[in-house]
Structures are given as C-alpha cells and as structure tokens.
Amino acid sequence: MDDATIFALSSGAPPAGVAVIRITGPHVRFVLETMLGYIPEPRYATLSSLAFMGENLDQALVLFFPGPASFTGEDVCEFHIHGGSAVVKAVLSVLGSMDGLRMAEAGEFTWRAFMHGKMDLTAVEGLSDLLQAETEMQRRQARDMAFGRLNQAAEIWREDLVRARSLIEAELDFADEEDVPESLQSEVVAAILALRKKLNETLKNFHAGERLRSGFEIILLGAPNVGKSSLLNAVARRDVAIVSSEAGTTRDLVEVHLDLGGYAVRLVDTAGLRDVEGGVEGEGIRRARERAGLADLVLLLDNLDSNTEQSLKTDDYKAVWRIGTKADLIDSDPQQLVKYDYIISSISGSGLSELLESLERFVSETTQGYSPLINRERHYRLLKQAVESLDRSLQHHISLELMAEDLRVVSDCLARLVGRIDVEDLLSSIFAEFCVGK
Ligand code: GDP
C-alpha cells in the first residue's frame, strides 16, 4: 500500500443524474482547500462550488469524513456532482493533475479499509458479494457476511479456544508434567468437543451457503434433438426469470442464469447424449456427464414423439427428473406417460409453468431451515483443517505439549479465516473481484 491519495468515480457509468467521486488519503484536506476554498464541516452535506485555477467546474454536494472515523480509516471526501460525461471527466482530470493524487485501482478503497482494521476479511468478501448480488437470497447472504455475522461467530470460537489453551498453558507452567490431572483433562476435552461440534455444524451447511452465493446448477441431458436448447430458450424467453444469458457459453455447454423466487440458478444445456466412443463428440458427452455429476439436479429429457429414451445410471447424480418433451406432437396415452415427472412442450409452452414452479420449490427446499455461515471454499478448507486439528488434539491428550500445539494450529486457522494472519496470497484475488471506486 502506498501513501498516495486515490480517487475514483464510485457511481455507475455516466451519463446519470448524479455522479459520486470519492477521494481518500493524506491530500484530501488539500483537495478541499484547493477546490472549495475551505474545509467543510465533517459529516454534513455541504453545497459548494468546485473550482480549479479560477474556473468553476460544477456545483457539488460535498461530504467530508476525517480519518480514522471513515470508511477507509483515512481522510475521505465525496463530491456528488452532475452526472454528465464531460462534468465527470473535467473533475477527474483536475484531480489527476494534482501532486500526490492518482486514480484508484479496483477494490483499493476497500483494501485500505481492510489494512486499517476497519473490516475483516470475511466482511470484505461479503461486501464483494453484495456488490455482485443479482438475486434476493444472494443479497441477504452477502449482507449478513458484510455486516460481520461470520466474523462474530469466529470471535466466539476464538474465545472458546483461548479458554482451552489457557487451561493447558497454566498446567504446563505449574505442573510437574508426569500426570495430567483428571479434572483439567476433562475440562479441556469438554471445551474441545463443544468447539468441534459448533465447527462441524457450520461445515455441514457449507454446500447450501455455496449454492446460495454462486447459484444452484440444473443441467439438461438427453439425446440430440430431444429439445434441450428449445427448453433453455423457452425458459430464457420468460423474461421474469432471466438474469443474464451471455455468461459461460462454451463449445458444448450453454448456460442461462435465472432468478427463481430469489434463488440464483444456472440452467445448463449440454452436448447431446449419444453412445459415441472417443472423438470430439465423445469428449463433449464425457464433459456433460461429468458436469451433471456435480449438478444439484439433472433434467433428463426424452422426446415423447419418438423413442429416444436414455439409459442413465441415476445413482451417479444427486437428483434426476424425467421430462417428456414435444407434448404438442402426441395424442397422450396416460399409461405411457406415468414414467415422466413432467410433460412439456417448448413450442406450445404447456407444462413449463409447472416445471419452473417445481424447480423453485426444489432449490428453496434444498436450503430451507439453513442459514449458512460460510459460503466460500476458503472458509470450508480452514474450518475443516481446524476440526482435524481438534480431532488430533483429542488423540494427543496424554501429552499437554502436543495438545497445545494442535490447538495453536486451530487458532491459526481462525486467524486466517478473518484475515488476521497470512493474507498476502489472498488479497489480490479477493480485491480483484471489486469494481473501481469501491
Ligand atoms: P436439442 O438437440 O436437444 O437441443 O434439441 P433442439 O432444442 O435443438 O430441438 C430439436 C428440434 O425439435 C428442433 O427442430 C425444435 O424446433 C424441435 N422441438 C423442440 N421442442 C419442441 C416442442 O416442444 N414441440 C415441437 N413440435 N418441436 C420441438
């Protein structure tokens, strides 16, 4: 981190009604003196002209937050100016011409907040998710993370651990090593068991948390021409459901992002299933099956109008629904249809509403009752490692030194979780998720 004063357009791309330019660093007071001619009252909105070298640039609403009681912990100011492209450009270019000022990079304001102890790493992650949240459930989860829910839980776990460690340390300092008193042992073991239980409960809900954050995956499988892409397009055309359609198109996998009742869902179309050995098509099919193995739900499509029925080892998948397609082409024989969970026509639209409603119920039931604390692989890995060390400490309970060492590892895991130690490797990847101006 350098000591430059940084600035950025923090609001969306102009033209807009209002544009917000944010500045943080040691030169903020100088900027205010130069452009306003005075330092406005802290934390009050002040209407003022912004001028430079005798030229009036705009009439702005100015907010000044002296450090350390600011977002970054440094002096911060905000100019709320008219949101026209040329207005924004003029103000940014004046700021860029001042000594000691430069344009901020993506996430740099948040980076400074983190470095000055204003936020822990989980809050940074939550803030990043909050800015990217597309659905209601993503928003709620990100809000909790950004406002410290995981951090508070980690603090309680840390206190539990400190207690167990200090019991051991006290004993190591005063006892003659030979026998660990029973009473101490049982107290330490009880504390470790209680902490392990809390961490295991948290780990158990990781999958739901991860899906709430990054979206559930529903994958379409079936022979070529069975109607997979038609179904994908029919769903995408119901514009209530669609969030974005451009993401993730590859040679053989096409996905649309849906908002199903507030839950983020990725609906993925695959290469047609066919028994081809080797070759490009075979590779596409192999990848489709592999991806389907990881998906939350497989929709196995079957053309009612011809015999395309696929044999699929359903054990390989978490959940499979059989969908009969092209219902508009057949005179339905109820006997023949009982094996399907849903009967649809992407052309007439019949059955689509029922299917979408069931999909919504499916994703909401998957997470129901959970309020997951963790939602990133990073959280999962660290807590898993913490639990393993707790397990090891229980095996080592004959030797207090070994036990203390195991608990030190647990302590490190918790410190890494909130970013108190060893954050260097993570910072660039986490802050790269941010946009400029945050
Ligand atoms: P995919 O290879 O499984 O993706 O199949 P497509 O979605 O490309 O569909 C193959 C053909 O079936 C196309 O000509 C579609 O127009 C047609 N088709 C798809 N769904 C329906 C449907 O519900 N009714 C009818 N009549 N034709 C359909």
The protein residue with its alpha carbon nearest to ligand 1, atom 6, reads 227
325 Cα to the center of ligand 1, angstroms: 8
One DSSP character per residue, 134-153 reads -SHHHHHHHHHHHTTHHHHH
Report the distance separating Cα 66 and Cα 28, nearest Å. 9
Phi, psi of 103 (to 5 degrees): -65, 140
**272 close to ligand 1 (CB < 6 Angstrom):** yes
Report the distance separating Cα 58 and Cα 49, nearest Å. 6
109 Cα to the center of ligand 1, angstroms: 50
Helix (H, G, I), strand (E, B) or coil at 284: helix
Is 315:326 a contact under the CB 8 Å cutoff? no
Q: Which residue has the tokens 């660039």?
A: 428
Report the distance separating Cα 119 and Cα 97, nearest Å. 31
pLDDT tens series, the chain, 438 aa: 678 999 999 998 999 999 999 999 999 999 999 999 999 999 999 999 999 999 999 999 999 999 999 999 999 999 999 999 999 999 999 999 999 999 999 999 999 999 999 999 999 999 999 999 999 999 999 999 999 999 999 999 999 999 889 888 877 776 655 555 667 778 888 999 999 999 999 999 999 999 999 999 999 988 888 888 889 888 877 643 444 333 333 345 778 888 998 999 999 887 655 555 555 556 667 777 888 889 999 999 988 887 666 666 777 889 999 999 998 888 766 667 788 999 999 989 999 999 999 999 999 888 776 689 999 999 999 999 999 999 999 987 778 889 999 999 999 999 999 998 877 777 777 777 777 778
Report the distance separating Cα 108 and Cα 24, nearest Å. 10
Other CB atoms within 10 A of residue 345 CB: 21
Task: Please calculate the CA angle 170-175-181 and round it to the nearest 5 degrees.
Answer: 90
C-alpha closest to that of 416 among 384, 391, 372: 384
Considering only CA atoms, give the Rg of the chain: 29
- Residues contacting residue 416 through CB under 8 Å, at least 6 positions apart: 382, 422, 423
Phi, psi of 374 (to 5 degrees): -115, 150
Report the distance separating Cα 105 and Cα 417, nearest Å. 25
Is 361:216 a contact under the CB 8 Å cutoff? no
Note the pLDDT of residue 174: 65
Note the pLDDT of residue 1: 62
Note the pLDDT of residue 246: 39
To test the pocket of ligand 1, the residue of 220, 225, 252, 352 to mutate (highest count of ligand atoms within 8 Å of its CB) is 225
To test the pocket of ligand 1, the residue of 219, 221, 226, 230 to mutate (highest count of ligand atoms within 8 Å of its CB) is 230
Other CB atoms within 10 A of residue 302 CB: 21
Sequence letter at residue 272: G
- Residues contacting residue 258 through CB under 8 Å, at least 6 positions apart: 235, 241, 242, 243, 264, 265, 266, 267
Note the pLDDT of residue 241: 40
Here the tokens at position 189 are 């073991």
**229 close to ligand 1 (CB < 6 Angstrom):** yes
Report the distance separating Cα 43 and Cα 66, nearest Å. 8
**224 close to ligand 1 (CB < 6 Angstrom):** yes
Note the pLDDT of residue 280: 54
Burial 147-164 (b: 16+ CB within 10 A, else e): ebbbbebbeebbebbeeb
362 Cα to the center of ligand 1, angstroms: 25
**349 close to ligand 1 (CB < 6 Angstrom):** no
Report the distance separating Cα 438 and Cα 435, nearest Å. 6
- Indicate the helix (H) or strand (E) that contains 119: none
Note the pLDDT of residue 153: 97
Here the tokens at position 181 are 């008193």
Sequence letter at residue 380: Y
Q: Are strands 263-269 and 297-303 parallel, antiparallel or unpaired?
A: unpaired
Q: Where are the beta strands (DSSP E) in 115-232?
A: 216-221
305 Cα to the center of ligand 1, angstroms: 11
Report the distance separating Cα 120 and Cα 148, nearest Å. 8
Is 124:108 a contact under the CB 8 Å cutoff? no
